Amino acid sequence: MTAPLFHLDPGSLDAAEPGSTIRVAGPEGHHAATVMRLGAGEAVQLSDTQNRRVGGVVLSADAGELSVQVRTVHDEPVLRPKLVLVQALAKDKRDLQAVESATELGVEAIIPWEADRSVVRWKPGREAKKHAEWLSTVRSSAKQTRRTAIPEVRDLHTTAQYCRLVQQSPGVAAVALHEVEETSLRTALTSAGVLDADPGIEELHLVVGPEGGISDQELTQLADVGTLSARLGRTVLRTSTAGPAAVAAAQLLLGRWDWP
């Protein structure tokens, strides 16, 4: 089993080098020392939640904190395009299921989307609470799967707001997943130039509708700002499945899972 990973604040590992000592306190220190009861000599991993990962061993464990000696330091490369899941709000927490699984599979940012057919709505005054719930899901999933970076959860967007975002972002390629489309994801990504050797694309957005799917009006609005459409396989996927499946497929098509 791999060593447990603890997420520290951004910048907290900037000075880390083999032989140096890092103090792990706060909620992560409490979890490591009090809940997991880690002790001297045990291996741990530390992350700055961005791109730096440290491997080390526990020197000492006190009440609610660890002292960790650094053994290795690794800076993960910044990959382009960034994978972004645009996930429609859905009932029975199927949207959160999608967010959790997409985080496990490597998505790098998430945009909550209030689609026309979204049964669930973030009521005025509760947006911050719902956003925090999505962020908590992402953080837990990232920690469980030993991810160095915690995906960003952006603000809730309506269809009109999202279309303006795409229109004003020349570095974004967007693909809406639609059950009656006959174009494959590979074909759509090729058409958008995402699979080129040097695509010049900063972000790839994978757009997933709610239980009732993306409405025809929304598909027109999305197409008008350059969004392409694609279908994943022969079956109709649930909103909780389509996003994670698309993220996994994109990872393979981009060659990011071709490890030696």
The 10s digit of each residue's pLDDT in 156-213 is: 999 999 999 999 999 999 999 998 888 999 999 999 999 987 778 999 999 999 998 9
pLDDT value for 228: 97
Neighbours of 27 (CB within 10 A): 10
pLDDT value for 7: 93
Q: Which residues of the chain have pLDDT under 50?
A: none
Inter-residue contact 4 to 45 (CB < 8 Å): yes
Q: In this prediction, what percent of the chain has a pLDDT beyond 90?
A: 80
Q: What are the extents of the domains in the chain?
A: 5-75, 82-254
Q: Looking at domain 82-254, does it have CATH number 3.40.1280.10? A: yes
pLDDT value for 250: 97
pLDDT value for 196: 85
Among the four given CATH numbers 3.40.390.10, 3.40.50.300, 2.40.240.20, 2.130.10.10, the one describing domain 5-75: 2.40.240.20
pLDDT value for 101: 98
pLDDT value for 260: 58
Between the CA atoms of 128, 129, 134 and 139, what dihedral angle is there, to the nearest 10 degrees? 100
Q: For 12, how many CA atoms within 13 A lie in the half-sphere containing its CB? A: 18
